[in-house]
Amino acid sequence: MANDSQPLSPTQELTEAGREFYRRGWARGASGNFSILLARKPLRLCITAAGNEKGTLDETNFLELDDDAEILQGFGRPSDETMLHLSIYRLRPRARCILYSQTVWGSILSDKHYVDGSIMMQGHEVLKGLVGVDTHEHTERIPIVENSSEQIALSHVIENVLLENALIHGIYIRRHGLYAWGETVEEARRNIEIFEFLFEVLAHSNR
């Protein structure tokens, strides 16, 4: 009999997240990418390979990469957004998981508020689920950056946003999707869940 208390492997944790996100409509087709930090010195991460649907992930759909995005283990092509993950891990020392979601409401808000530079959230009890937030009066900003096929340039933009915004829990790439992180997969999933709930609330309230 399997030991139910046996901890999940990084690939199992990300596989479960992928299936849940697909079920909830947060990950469509082969878009998006998930990762877990395996080691910081030297930096090693486990990340989804490009081109795989998140609802059907298994252990063959992951790569182990170094801090130059070179493949150490696994088969396939690294996600185009691998450089973004590396930038976040380098500038957020407590982050050990990065997840991605793509929804109708988030995409609409990223377009609508792009000129403002961020999506603003305040006054919602659910914000207290974010690490470091202890009041519903908290104002959470999710910076919005323009998408680009030049991933190195985009990663530099992400780095600047992280340096200028020490307390944010996520970044939205316009017309692309949300990247959020946490110390664990559970924490990163919770952040995504909070943001996606508020995206829908904000989008409906602005109709």
128: left (phi over 0), alpha (psi -120 to 50) or beta: alpha
For the chain, the domains span 10-205
| Pairing of β 170-173 and β 139-145 | parallel
SS3 23: helix
d(CA 13, CA 188): 12
Measured on CA atoms in the order 75, 81, 82, 83, is the torsion positive or negative? positive
Angle between helices 185-205 and 104-112 (to 10 degrees): 70
Q: What is the CATH number of domain 10-205?
A: 3.40.225.10
Per-residue pLDDT of the chain (207 residues; tens, 9 = 90+): 445 668 889 999 999 999 999 999 998 877 789 999 999 999 999 999 988 888 888 889 999 999 999 999 999 998 889 999 999 999 999 999 999 999 999 999 999 999 999 999 999 999 999 998 999 999 999 999 999 989 899 999 999 999 999 999 999 999 999 999 999 999 999 999 999 999 999 998 876
Measured on CA atoms in the order 15, 168, 199, 195, is the torsion positive or negative? positive
What is this structure's pTM? 0.94
Count other Cβ atoms within 10 Å, centred on residue 36. Answer: 23
Say if residues 91 and 162 touch (Cβ distance below 8 Å): yes
